[in-house]
Amino acid sequence: MTGLYTADQVRTAEEPVLARTPGGALMQRAATGLATACLRLVGRAVGVRVTLLVGAGDNGGDALWAGAALAGRGAAVTALLLDPGRAHAAGLAALRRAGGRVVTDAAAAGLGRADLVLDGITGIGGRGGLRPAAADAVARAVAGPGLLVAVDVPSGVDADTGAVEGEAFPAQHTVTFGAVKVGLVVGEGRGHAGVVHLVDLGLDLPAPAARQLTDADVAALLPDPGAGDDKYSQGVVGVHAGSATYPGAAVLCTGAALRTRPGLVRYAGTAADGVRAAWPEAIVTDGRPADAGRVQAWVVGPGGGTDDEARSVLAEVLATDLPVLVDADALTLVSREPQLVRDRTAPTVLTPHDREFTRLGFDLGADRVGAARAAAAALGATVLLKGDATVVADADGTVFVNGTGTPWLATAGTGDVLSGVVGALLATGLPAVEAAAAGAHLHGRAGQLAAAAGPLIASDVVAHLPAAVHRLTDRVR
Ligand SMILES: NC(=O)C1=CN([C@@H]2O[C@H](COP(=O)(O)OP(=O)(O)OC[C@H]3O[C@@H](n4cnc5c(N)ncnc54)[C@H](O)[C@@H]3O)[C@@H](O)[C@H]2O)[C@@H](O)CC1
Ligand SMILES: [K+]
């Protein structure tokens, strides 16, 4: 599990270390870690051309000290001071001592031929997007050949939310200090941070603001069936989705549930013929959910319509004391009658995309973690807000940010697949927030495996779920 932290949490955790260590010691740890990471990334120091983009605060200090270390090992280092009067004095002196060049004109900073560019414009103290001089330097860096490495946080990215107002540094790698900041893995920040490397500063950190599951975490939540298990004991999931005219959502959702946890899937609805033809393993009825037989969790909504019949099915399922995943058309119905969810005591997972989220009546600004958390608290439910980095928030404030996936997953039907995956995990008895977060992780991994063969369609994601489970658990089933 990776803990994700806010800038304030990191600053608070730094205070006792700053108080008990000599001045500058923490920055030395940060800069040494940064220089080491850069050496690993470029492979050598001698003759490597490095440009430092240096802002007015300690983030620039980190870049200057790391630049001094690289210069000391034979790199040709140029520092571009964006706010010359306020550059970190000790770092600047160290760079000069090590033989680095210092310039104030972006055209003279060697960005057109740099091997490595370090972005030390702003870190956790940055506010708003890049200012014009910084934006000009960053544009030159992007146009040049150098590897783009952000120091602590890509400048212009809000460390807490991932929001980008205007422009930000599009890093290929981010070397971050003390703790991974929330803004590096969510929203626009995720795309700007590239690969995140953590330099341990030995901070005593509090409970994280949010979390990210690893493959090992998800494997631990998906135990192999034991010798005593039968088709019922692995969790039976019920699916109500699709329609006679549009059976696709039902087929994808049922297939995903089967491929995630192939104990037993019961389907109820008017797409029965289509589901029967695609998945002979499912137990199918064209009746109502109550006709389906016993299940441990329900998935309701994908392709199910929003008419009176769909509303009555949703109300029937939500009136049970079972975990329920509410998706797609059923979210539209909930937006009309949120008390259907609010009145429940059993777990409910809602899986909106952005438009469905706002339709539910919640503001969706650039702070996706905050928005999902607020919606979960208001509804007393688990909210899985889909996106490039899917956010899962529980009513108690627990948040997971998903780290897997591929842009290729932005295609029709993958949401139906996700619902089936999470539904299957809910039926195993996992707490709703864990089922949702693990399901998002697994769905993302299946998407990555499918995309390795080229552009994917939703059925490919279903087909790759067993391999994704196998990869996570590294065991043959
Ligand atoms: N506190 C510490 O002891 C440590 C801090 N470290 C580094 O220090 C950073 C935080 O340093 P600071 O608090 O000095 O803040 P930053 O260096 O992140 O930025 C603050 C400075 O940038 C200016 N600024 C804010 N927004 C700007 C924008 N959009 N464009 C241009 N300039 C802008 C501010 O006026 C201020 O002078 C961390 O991100 C990390 O890199 C590390 O060295 C580890 C130790
Ligand atoms: K930075």
**118: amino acid identity, one letter:** L
Query: Which residues, 6 or more positions from 109, have their beta carbon under 8 angstroms from its beta carbon?
Result: 51, 53, 78, 80, 103, 137, 140
Q: Which ligand is nearest to the CA of 19?
A: 1
Q: Is 248 annotated as a binding residue?
A: no
- Which residue, by CA, sits nearest to atom 35 of ligand 1? 56
* Ligand 1 pocket mutation pick from 59, 81, 200 by most atoms within 8 angstroms of CB: 59
For 257, the 3-state DSSP assignment is helix
Could you give the C-alpha distances from 12 to 5, 7, 61, 78, 248, in angstroms and in order? Answer: 11, 9, 20, 33, 51
Ligand 1 atom nearest to 129, measured from its CA: 29
Query: Which residues, 6 or more positions from 358, have their beta carbon under 8 angstroms from its beta carbon?
Result: 364
Q: From ligand 2's centre to the CA of 171, what distance in Å?
A: 9
DSSP 8-state code for residue 125: T
Q: From ligand 1's centre to the CA of 55, what distance in Å?
A: 8
pTM score, whole prediction? 0.96
The string over 62-71, giving b where at least 16 C-beta atoms fall within 10 Å of a residue's C-beta and e elsewhere, is bbbbbbbbbb
DSSP 8-state code for residue 390: -
Domains of the chain listed by start with CATH number: 2-212 (3.40.50.10260), 215-473 (3.40.1190.20)
Q: Is 390 annotated as a binding residue?
A: yes
Q: From ligand 2's centre to the CA of 62, what distance in Å?
A: 9
The per-type count for the chain, helices as H runs and strands as E runs, is 17, 19
CA gap 400, 394 in Å, rounded = 9
Q: Is 231 annotated as a binding residue?
A: no
Rounded to the nearest 5 degrees, what angle is found at the Cα of 214, between the Cα atoms of 174 and 379? 100
DSSP 172-218: SEEEEESSEEGGGTSHHHHHHH-EEEEEP------S-SEEE--HHHH
Rounded to the nearest 5 degrees, what angle is found at the Cα of 388, between the Cα atoms of 386 and 392? 40
pLDDT in tens, the chain (477 residues): 999 999 999 999 999 999 999 999 999 999 999 999 999 999 999 999 999 999 999 999 999 999 999 999 999 999 999 999 999 999 999 999 999 999 999 999 999 999 999 999 999 999 999 999 999 999 999 999 999 999 999 999 999 999 999 999 999 999 999 999 999 999 999 999 999 999 999 999 999 999 999 999 999 999 788 888 888 888 999 999 999 999 999 999 999 999 998 789 999 999 999 999 999 999 999 999 999 999 999 999 999 999 999 999 999 999 999 999 999 999 999 999 999 999 999 999 999 999 999 999 999 999 999 999 999 999 999 999 999 999 999 999 999 999 999 999 999 999 999 999 999 999 999 999 999 999 999 999 999 999 999 999 999 999 999 999 999 887 434
For the four alpha carbons of 222, 223, 227 and 228, in that order, the dihedral sign comes to negative
Could you give the C-alpha distances from 5 to 11, 81, 207, 236, 383, in angstroms and in order? Answer: 10, 29, 9, 37, 20
Q: From ligand 1's centre to the CA of 2, what distance in Å?
A: 24
CA gap 69, 63 in Å, rounded = 10
Q: Are strands 391-393 and 382-385 parallel, antiparallel or unpaired?
A: antiparallel
CA gap 150, 171 in Å, rounded = 6
Q: From ligand 1's centre to the CA of 113, what distance in Å?
A: 27
CA gap 374, 280 in Å, rounded = 41
Ligand 1 atom nearest to 127, measured from its CA: 26
Residues within a 6 A CB radius of ligand 1: 14, 18, 26-27, 30, 55-60, 62, 122-128, 131, 134, 151-153, 177
